[in-house]
Structure 1
Amino acid sequence: MSDKVNHFAPVAVFVYNRLQNTIEVIEALRKNRLAMQTEVYFFSDGPRHKKDESSVQEVRNYLRSVNGFKKIHLVEREQNYYIEKNIILGVTYVINKHGSIIVLEDDGVTSEDFLEFMNGALDFYKTFKKVMHVATFTFINMPNGFNKTFFWRYTENTGGGWATWKDRWAKFEYFQTKEQALSSMSETEKDWVEMSGEYKCLDLLRLQPIPWDLCWYISVAKNQGLAVQAPWALTVNNGLYNGTHFNFFNRLLGRSPFETNLSAPRKIIFSEDVVEDKYALGQLIKFYKEMQSNKRAKAIHFLLRILIYLKVTKIVKFILKIYRGSVS
């Protein structure tokens, strides 16, 4: 990591109604060695439903008691912005004020050297304009002994744990519809984003609202940008089974493929070779291929167990016949 950091970036934490998740995130961040030099913004979204009012208030009561940082700002939304609007407006506000930003959500638990890495990367790569995104969440394994940052197109950050600069964020484009997004992209850009069809993320453009992070990923791609990635996970997700964009099927079908572990603090070297790492990209494509295969298999097995329990044997035999034919 860089030996000298000229500027400590603020952290924006986006929360809703998950008190225990939020406590774990804040306590981990407080243990960071640069916590007392870091300004923190909490953006608390308003309740979406009447039943969420008490849990939202519990989170806000806790945030009002938080200390251990250089300065704390608490923004309490009066109404529900939903995650997309809350994050986009929050990031824009902080980054316009400070010039750079580190972002966490209420399920991003960090290692104790997270802030050191983030501030070092923001300082080191500030003039590398092709680098648009700093990432600390990863679920792929680089070769043993690999201790350098690497670069790839991927900007997925489950739980947050990412950072950027004002001039890069100025290129962010939020799409209101699938048609608007697709019409703004060339066929080459679509192929790049979906990794030649191995990562079918553009299917998610059908969602309303469209996920903000997919729009950011597309924006980075359209500007020929790359993400700089820590070689191992400095952020893990403690909310894989209770978040906005996850559902009970994650728990139902077994361990989430996005589960990973934090590593003990180690020295990370900042690479200056800003080209996409072919090995890392290959591992990423392999991960998504295996994830899709496992999802289908687990879903079919789960359905079979239900049908057997219900003694619907003829349907079971029919599904088994189809399944065996599909994997043969």
Structure 2
Amino acid sequence: MDKKLFDIPVLLIAFNRPETTCLVFEQIRKLRPSQLYLFSDAPRNDKPEEQELVETCRYLLDDSQIDWNCKVERWFPESNMGCALGISSAITWAFETSSQLIIVEDDCLPHPDFFTFCKSMLEMYRGNDRIMHISGSLLNEDLKANNSDHFFSLIGNTGGWATWKSAWNRYDFWMEQFPEMKNEKRIHSLIRNTKTLNYWLERFDTVYTEERKSSWEVQWQYSIFKNYGLAVVPHVNLISNIGYMVAELADESQNCPVVYERNLKEIQSNELAIGSEFGSPCLKTIFPENASFSTRFFYKFMSFLKLNY
């Protein structure tokens, strides 16, 4: 009997890294999603060596590599779109025919529990306009929630993440209202930590003034702040960035499986703390220290009223 298909659409974003693409796609193959979006940007004109790399990546995403019943949609541009416009456009494209999405990039290796975590959180917080982002990464171990499988953060880490079409509709690639937000110090009201505040203001300033945008994720974080949104963060890290590790191993003439095994073991060492399923509602919500008083009060008030958020 065929394994039951995973019913949340998955978008894989690839470019010129076949070594990591094959590993990430293997995790997707094990998942067997019923709907799969594949985006592979074209090589850059001034990088002729990328032609073969991109062709290899696209072969790895060919129908011959999909051995389960799956609706597949591909967007393989003929000319290079660049990271900023390419990735943001790929997400918008996928949302033309889906209402929710799990998004994985080609150098971010997901633990199998990443997908079930995203599915559970997408279901739990569907319809809550303040929850805009579901992270797969836990980058700061000090922010762990001891009595819950997740907590809320003002920051949404990308690479492996999920969201809804309703949230992505609020994405502002050009950051049109940033000067107004900055003058009104609206971001200041959200972030109490001066170092964190200055970091984001500097990044927003840089991207806003660029004629040709070099980023898409900075604008997504700006959109989260702009809408007073929150991100769901797992209790432990479920994504391992393997881009740098593959480069290191390539210098040592080692191969893909070594990277895969090493990173998967690193993630699996935390598996016991999470459990294999994320179906139960969280018992306690933990906020990072730099969340504002208004953010904390809002969710405590919701909990007091026992609203289903």
Q: Same fold (TM over 0.5)?
A: yes
Q: Could you say which residue in structure 2 is the equivalent of 1:166?
A: 165
| Distance across 2 between alignment mates of 1:95 and 1:185 | 30
- Residue 72 of structure 1 and its aligned partner are, at CA, apart by 2.6
| Distance across 1 between alignment mates of 2:55 and 2:10 | 22
| Distance across 1 between alignment mates of 2:115 and 2:95 | 17
Bigger shift: 213-222 or 192-201?
A: 192-201
Instruction: Tell me which of 35, 40, 50 is aligned to 1:39.
Output: 35
- Residue 79 of structure 1 and its aligned partner are, at CA, apart by 0.5
Q: Does 1:97 align with 2:101?
A: no
Bigger shift: 202-211 or 11-20?
A: 202-211
Residues 1:242 and 1:184: Cα distance change in structure 2 (over 3 Å): farther
| Distance across 2 between alignment mates of 1:219 and 1:272 | 29
Q: Does 1:50 align with 2:51?
A: no
Q: Could you say which residue in structure 2 is the equivalent of 1:124?
A: 124
Counterpart amino acid of residue 187 in structure 2: K
Secondary structure of the equivalent of 2:39? strand
Q: Does 1:148 align with 2:183?
A: no
Seq. identity, %: 24
RMSD of Structure 2 on Structure 1 (CA): 2.9
- Residue 168 of structure 1 and its aligned partner are, at CA, apart by 1.0
Cα-to-partner distance string for 1:206-228 (whole Å, 9 max, x where unaligned): 25424211111111111111011
Q: Could you say which residue in structure 2 is the equivalent of 1:190?
A: 187
Secondary structure of the equivalent of 1:278? coil
Instruction: Tell me which of 39, 59, 62 is aligned to 2:60.
Output: 62
Count of matched residue positions in the alignment of Structure 1 and Structure 2: 253
| Distance across 2 between alignment mates of 1:186 and 1:66 | 52
Q: Could you say which residue in structure 1 is the equivalent of 2:220?
A: 216
Residues 1:124 and 1:144: Cα distance change in structure 2 (over 3 Å): closer
Counterpart amino acid of residue 217 in structure 2: D
| Distance across 2 between alignment mates of 1:112 and 1:280 | 30
Q: Could you say which residue in structure 2 is the equivalent of 1:309?
A: none
Residues 1:167 and 1:186: Cα distance change in structure 2 (over 3 Å): farther
- Residue 99 of structure 1 and its aligned partner are, at CA, apart by 0.7
TM-score normalised by L of structure 2: 0.72
Unaligned runs of 5+ in 2: 1-5, 248-262, 293-309
Q: Could you say which residue in structure 2 is the equivalent of 1:225?
A: 229
Residues 1:143 and 1:43: Cα distance change in structure 2 (over 3 Å): closer
Kindly indicate whether the alpha-carbon contact (under 8 Å) linking 2:41 and 2:77 is maintained by their aligned counterparts in 1: yes
Larger radius of gyration: 1
Residues 1:240 and 1:181: Cα distance change in structure 2 (over 3 Å): farther
- Residue 181 of structure 1 and its aligned partner are, at CA, apart by 3.1
Bigger shift: 189-198 or 105-114?
A: 189-198
Kindly indicate whether the alpha-carbon contact (under 8 Å) linking 2:191 and 2:290 is maintained by their aligned counterparts in 1: no
- Residue 186 of structure 1 and its aligned partner are, at CA, apart by 4.7
Kindly indicate whether the alpha-carbon contact (under 8 Å) linking 1:43 and 1:74 is maintained by their aligned counterparts in 2: yes
Residues 1:143 and 1:171: Cα distance change in structure 2 (over 3 Å): closer
Q: Does 1:134 align with 2:134?
A: yes
Q: Does 1:277 align with 2:287?
A: yes
Cα-to-partner distance string for 1:286-313 (whole Å, 9 max, x where unaligned): xxxxxxxxxxxxxxxxxxxxxxxxxxxx
- Residue 71 of structure 1 and its aligned partner are, at CA, apart by 2.8
Q: Does 1:107 align with 2:107?
A: yes
| Distance across 2 between alignment mates of 1:162 and 1:38 | 18
Q: Could you say which residue in structure 1 is the equivalent of 2:29?
A: 30
- Residue 129 of structure 1 and its aligned partner are, at CA, apart by 1.8
Kindly indicate whether the alpha-carbon contact (under 8 Å) linking 1:46 and 1:77 is maintained by their aligned counterparts in 2: yes
Kindly indicate whether the alpha-carbon contact (under 8 Å) linking 1:194 and 1:202 is maintained by their aligned counterparts in 2: no
- Residue 143 of structure 1 and its aligned partner are, at CA, apart by 5.1
Kindly indicate whether the alpha-carbon contact (under 8 Å) linking 2:153 and 2:230 is maintained by their aligned counterparts in 1: yes
| Distance across 1 between alignment mates of 2:67 and 2:124 | 26
Secondary structure of the equivalent of 1:26? helix
| Distance across 1 between alignment mates of 2:145 and 2:129 | 30
